[in-house]
Amino acid sequence: MGKVSEKAGVQQLVESFFKHGVKYIVFSPGSRNAPLVVSFANDNRFKCYVIPDERSAAFYALGMAEQSGTPVPVMCTSGSALLNYYPAVSEAFYRNIPLIVVSADRPNEWVDHGDGQTIRQENAFQNHICAATTLYETPTSKDQTWFNKRTIDEVMNIAKSAQGGPIHINFPFTEPLYKTIEKETSSENAQGFTEIMELNPQLSSVQKEELREIWNNSPRKMILCGQMPKNGYLNEQLKNLANDKSVAIVVENTSNLQDKSFIHCIDRTITSFLENDPELYQPDLLITIGGAVISKKIKTYLRKYKAKNNWKIGQEFPFMDTYQSLTNSIPMQPNAFLDFLLEDGFSRNTSRYGEQWKQLDYLVKGNHDQYLETVPYSDLSVFDLILDSVPDQSDLHLSNSSVIRYAQLFDPINSIKYYCNRGTSGIDGSTSTAIGNAIVGENKLHTFITGDISFFYDSNAFWNHHVPSNFRVFLINNGGGGIFNIIPGPQSTPNGDEFFVAKHSFSAKSICEAFNVNYFAANSMEEIDQQLDKFYEIQSNDRPAVIEIFTDGNESGKILLDYLEKTKVKDVPVLGM
């Protein structure tokens, strides 16, 4: 039957994780977590991965959980190793991803008494965790055995729930750590687990009538969609609602919603009316669906030009008031709520508010296409080329800062799924998260677009034996943090290049050589185009590939600002509202 730790608490955890659908486990090397290693790594029901850098390991697990839709544990030794998981824990918290942190600990009696690798591990993530518990390594009574089982079930149910996210299981271990026994209990006859059955909340007849009345008396309605996984049924529901000319469906690429009737590129469109006629595009009713919205412009605009009514749909963070106008938080799944909106009794208003938005979007798109015909070599022209090269039916991962903002200026690619760490919007772990996704999604190609600072910051993502051959990286190296050449402020100070942009002249070539990653380099559109086929084909050494594209950061910043100015539409015809 194989070997398992002699510690009965660990044996309980193994069986409970299997019952709760755990398939993948990420380990950070250490010694104190040996009881976990010898139990899980020798059990063929789990696929185990070893990622030496703890920060990277946690983001690997996050990406695997995101791609698989199952809880993924990441397990470490005691001490500061655990604290390196925090960036990924906070990302998982704000995106409701079931990341399971399992930390080996030293015996509680040695905390704060000078023993090595011994810190205060309990409640280490208390501000960004959905649940936490400490288990008995060797229960000495029926009550302690019951406690372990009950508390594992409790935290795992929380992690997997609609309002769930990361959990922390702390496990103090005494020596000996490596002693094993033959596994005797099979999963078939092991005790089952307690499952909390989730029910989708329903609106009462009174609530339905109240919402119907608000809808029917709101001539200008906006449905704003943030980050979410692909949802074909939701896409069809929104297309149906877009037939109502009083409804504007505003989405971002990371919402994974696509249709010609939607407004996709918020920042590209909104620039045209921020200075002139902002009231013309102000909604009476704002309905928000999904997670984070990237566009700072739309958030600033809607906070100033508030909707009379703002409905937040979903069970996550019910009091999150992003636009400072929240009137109703409706804890229903979006599909169920939109089914309600599409019922009889909802009038189709004579307003042309949605049509007004779409008209502007269409006109700006014309200016966008025209500008790109003559744009000089820069970050903008590079994005135009590489986004067009991403293969159909693949996954596209984007790092944060300037990369995600450039990507939002281009219409979404049909059949592509978009991913980005927008829970906390940090650059840490972007590469690791994308690779974690690629490991689980092994039957398709994964393309990652990143900037130089983000790439260097997470270069240890390649320091392991698990980086798959289906992973491709476009690295845009513009010599620093390009975002700080774009946003107002940093360059108005004498410290802009050194303290904000972090200007540099480094290259990723040696990093790729160190980790046996296939490396390409380009300094022009022609050089990129000539290497794309070879870059995307199966590499002879069955390893991933990086193409480092060198651009001028200062020049790219100027071109982007010029683009935003030149694509503005002046004198937009006002439709009957």
User: 79-105, pLDDT tens digit by residue?
Assistant: 889 999 999 999 999 999 999 999 998
Strand order in the sheet with 309-313: 247-251, 221-225, 285-289, 309-313, 328-330
Mean of all residue pLDDT scores within the chain: 91
CATH topology of domain 375-564: Rossmann fold (3.40.50)
Ranges 54-63, 90-99, 171-180: which has the least confidence = 171-180
- Range(s) of the chain covered by CATH 3.40.50.1220: 205-364
Contact by Cβ (8 Å): 222, 197: no
Nearest Cα neighbor of 473 from 430, 415, 409, 425 is 430
CATH topology of domain 3-179: Rossmann fold (3.40.50)
DSSP 446: E
State mean pLDDT over 482-508: 65
Q: Give the pLDDT of residue 416.
A: 95
What homologous superfamily does CATH list for 205-364?
A: TPP-binding domain (3.40.50.1220)
Q: 188-191 long-range contacts, Cβ below 8 Å, gap at least 24?
A: 190/15, 190/19, 191/15, 191/149
Stated pTM of the model: 0.93
Q: Give the pLDDT of residue 201.
A: 82
Report residue 194's pLDDT band, with 50, 70 and 90 as the boundaries.
confident
- Range(s) of the chain covered by CATH 3.40.50.970: 3-179, 375-564
Contact by Cβ (8 Å): 226, 254: yes
Q: Give the pLDDT of residue 191.
A: 60
* Cis peptide bond prior to 176, omega within 30° of 0: yes
* Six-digit token string for 333: 């799944």
